[in-house]
Amino acid sequence: MTMTYDGTVPALFENIDVRFDNQSTNIYAGQIGVRFDTGVTALLFCADPFIGLRLDTVEVTPLAGSQVNQGERLAWMFNSYVPAMSQGWQAAAFQLAAWDIVADGGDGLTAGRIQSSNTTNSQILSAASALVVASQGKSGNGGVFYQPTAGPRYSQTLFEAADTSVPEPSTYLLMGVGLLALSQLRRRA
């Protein structure tokens, strides 16, 4: 399977100031758009900020969250927070939290390889810190990581997730009642 960065896919991101390995940088953080060789587009997050994103076509291998460092924690965080995102700063906060979790085990943004700087947007920093804390000890299913087939240092590993949980029985009951009501209305019409 191949994947190519696609800047025409609407994405949520924000430009932020951070420190990577004690070097200050200004970087786009948030979702990016990609196109797979099947023609499907997707919005993904970066799992490794220390590797540049290749803009050409890259062969990738899909991996489950359990096969990637902190992957199940990121899947939980993704499923819990990304569906409600509508602003670039929210996606940037999620991305910053994900980087801290992958690079530093989620030790917070004041120590380790990923750190805030004195010019990091306070709203983004606060939200990222809250995500790191909220995800501690959590694990989720449905994480899919796209790792370059040539190796994780060839290009960024990107990820997405989808909630694969089974609905509660009460959800099925409510859906059944709704279908019965619709069939009764149809009969009367």
Residue-averaged pLDDT of the chain: 85
Over residues 88-93, mean pLDDT: 96
Domain residue limits at 108:
2-188
Over residues 105-117, mean pLDDT: 94
173 pLDDT exceeds 70? no
Q: What is the token pair recorded at 1?
A: 């399977």
Q: How buried is residue 177: exposed, middle or buried, by Cβ count under 10 Å (0-12/13-18/19+)?
A: exposed
The total number of structural domains that make up the chain: 1
- What pTM did the predictor assign? 0.82
Residue with tokens 């790792």: 147
Q: What is the token pair recorded at 103?
A: 């690079």
Over residues 101-105, mean pLDDT: 94
180 pLDDT exceeds 60? no
